[in-house]
Structure 1
Amino acid sequence: MTTIPIRDAKNRLTELARRVEDGERFTVTRNGKPVMELVPAKKQGGIDWEGLDAYKRENGITDIVTYVAADFDDPLPEDFLITPLPPLVSDR
């Protein structure tokens, strides 16, 4: 990471912004001490719909979920919730 004095950063902000867009990182200093970093902005999160479409095309998937039952999010019956799970069978 390149170090740059705050005065130079102020005078060259547009140039530094372009370089940061290209992936460079800068530490801005005041009196030789770091005060901030100029780094590329993080990509916003969320679902990558284009990536999903590409994955489906590459793997021959036509549809992932075609139907969701109307009672999908209804509460589970009480007897289901209090019934203990069967013991786990370990691979030997």
Structure 2
Amino acid sequence: MRKCINYFVTAPKFSTRGWEDYLYWQATDRALLKRINLLLQEIAREPFTGIGKPEPLKHQLSGFWSRRIDLQHRLVYSCHDETILIAQCRDHY
């Protein structure tokens, strides 16, 4: 059994836009919602590696990371201390 040093115990927090995006997927596309939930679980375990090709963002979004939901949409998040903040989970930044 491997030791999860980076494991976040608390649930992710959502920005206003991030929560609106999440609710949009609940109403319109359960398959993408399932993918987002999988990415959220992966972020909780390993914030900067894993599925979705995580990459640090630059310029105005410096300090945030992005993971691919699909070809068009990205999940944008930041990790500080033990908090994961979901900034958006629809469209491309």
Q: Give TM class, smaller chain.
A: under 0.3
Larger Cα Rg: Structure 1 or Structure 2? 1
State the TM-score, normalized to the length of structure 1: 0.23
> Could you say which structure has the higher strand fraction?
2
State the TM-score, normalized to the length of structure 2: 0.23
